[in-house]
Amino acid sequence: MERYSRQEAFFGIGSEGQKKLLESRVCIIGLGALGSASANLMARAGTGFLRLVDRDYVELSNLQRQMLYTEADAAEAVPKAAAAADHLGRINSEIRLEPVVADVNSGNIRALIEDVDLIIDATDNVEIRLLINEACHALGKPWIYGGALASYGMTMNILPGEDRPCYHCMFDDVVPDGETCATAGVLGMLTSIVASIQCTEAVKILIGSPDVRKTLLAFDIWNNEFDEMEVARNPDCPVCGREEYRFYGKVSGSRTVSLCGRDSVQIVPAIAGAAGDPEAAGGPGTAGTFGAAGDPRVDFDQIAGRWQACGKVTWKRFTLDLDIGDFGIKLFPDGRAIISGTSDEGKARALYDEYVGL
Amino acid sequence: MKIKITMRGTLKKYMPGEEYRIVEVPDNCTCDEALQCIGMNYREIPRFGFVVRNGKRCFIYDRLEEGDELKAWSQVSGG
């Protein structure tokens, strides 16, 4: 195939490897700096099916490092999943792209990953990685952890198997996140490197290469420090040792999360949390959560009518926005909302209840 | 006994300007006790990740030997 001729010429892949890649299904969770770079690489490499999952929309501060997006995406506040699929579709129209605008949680993760061969982590906090780790362990799926902060990068392949460590095995005590990219900054060059390593490993895993890395790789590109570390499985690990899941399989109710460094709070109503559950919602393809332009779960017409008297209402391609002076509400089709202008979860919840009321 | 302690990631701020430090620690001490010798209590550091002994991830309560290299890593959770 002409499109992939340079990749097929590489001894580690060849035409057989390329064929396997074209038959592969991958889910990328998070489409920020790591995820947009990974999506770009995996789409160009010819991954047959890519599910692109993100809860957020494009902002101007993303463009320094989130390679897929444009100023027009930021001006329109297009959801990242929709923008990514839009751009990637023009890069490789021969693969299947499935954008999913959703908050990944215990209620929908199974539906998001159970029909794929591999998951690429491009998230931005420990809690979601713990959920991915538990879900992948339960379902026997390989996933690739990747993290980036300031000039520090880290990545490890988490492979199924009784002798293999899981993500939780890396830690003695898993403590809440400290610094984030919003507070400590991050280099765009770093995220490209981490994503490139993740995608190289992804291709190796998908085509069955014997060269899959089994170590934890970490580096500081500003100070030129590179470490490769062995991680042994912890026999007392709550996840791979005892199969005690803290997040996976738990009921996902309404959640309120302050978005660090953003002066914004995300509200996920219970209906959005359960939207992706295969038993509750009929599996992948369910409108609202699956497919960025899926049928709305909330009635935008009805809510827009109600909002007209409250402030400036803007109906964008995928969201309904309300500007009420000091605060803003960006409502997604599944009922999820991002309240801007406050980091106070109680205040945000009150605004959601008052204006959205789901 | 003497060991070498190195900070990685955002933990570097606990050893500013030093690539590593050779530290005298009690014989047979744990990683936790060794870090406390340089004034670091991992329980109080919200972004503390894990420790690595001679290139292998180990537990904070694992014991060290003369000449060991102990690296402490922060979590790297952004994306």
Average pLDDT per consecutive 10 residues, chain B (79 residues; last block may be shorter): 95 92 96 96 88 95 97 91
- Angstrom distance (rounded) from CA A298 to CA A126: 30
Q: What is residue A270's predicted lDDT score, i.e. its pLDDT?
A: 72
- Angstrom distance (rounded) from CA A332 to CA A302: 14
Q: What is residue A288's predicted lDDT score, i.e. its pLDDT?
A: 37
3-state secondary structure of A43: helix
**Sheet strands (E) in chain A:** 25-29, 49-54, 96-101, 118-121, 143-149, 152-158, 216-220, 225-229, 255-259, 264-268, 312-315, 320-324, 327-331, 337-340
Residue of A55, A61, A154, A172 to mutate for B, most B C-beta atoms under 10 A: A172
Of A33, A152, A171, the CB nearest to B76: A152
- DSSP letter at A229 equals E
Distance from CA of A178 to the nearest CA of B (A): 5
Q: What is residue A127's predicted lDDT score, i.e. its pLDDT?
A: 86
Nearest to A101 by CA among A58, A53, A38, A166: A53
Q: Which CATH number fits domain A2-229: 3.40.50.720, 3.40.50.620, 1.20.1560.10, 3.30.300.90?
A: 3.40.50.720
Q: What is the mean pLDDT of each run of 10 residues along chain A (358 residues)?
A: 94 97 98 97 98 94 94 93 97 97 91 98 92 97 96 96 91 64 82 97 98 96 94 93 91 73 83 43 34 58 89 87 92 90 88 85
Give the pair of three-digit tokens for residue B8: 């990685």
Topology, domain A255-355: TATA-Binding Protein (3.30.310)
- Angstrom distance (rounded) from CA A93 to CA A347: 44
Would you please indicate which residues of A are annotated as catalytic (active-site) residues?
181
Strand order in the sheet with B48-53: B21-24, B2-8, B69-74, B48-53, B56-58
Range(s) within chain A of domains with CATH label 3.30.310? 255-355
* Closest residue on chain B to A31 (Cα): B79
What are the chain A neighbours of B49 within 8 Å (beta carbons)? 170-171
Q: What is residue A165's predicted lDDT score, i.e. its pLDDT?
A: 96
Are A227 and B50 an interchain contact pair (Cβ–Cβ within 8 Å)? Answer: no
pTM for this predicted structure: 0.87
Range(s) within chain A of domains with CATH label 3.40.50.720? 2-229
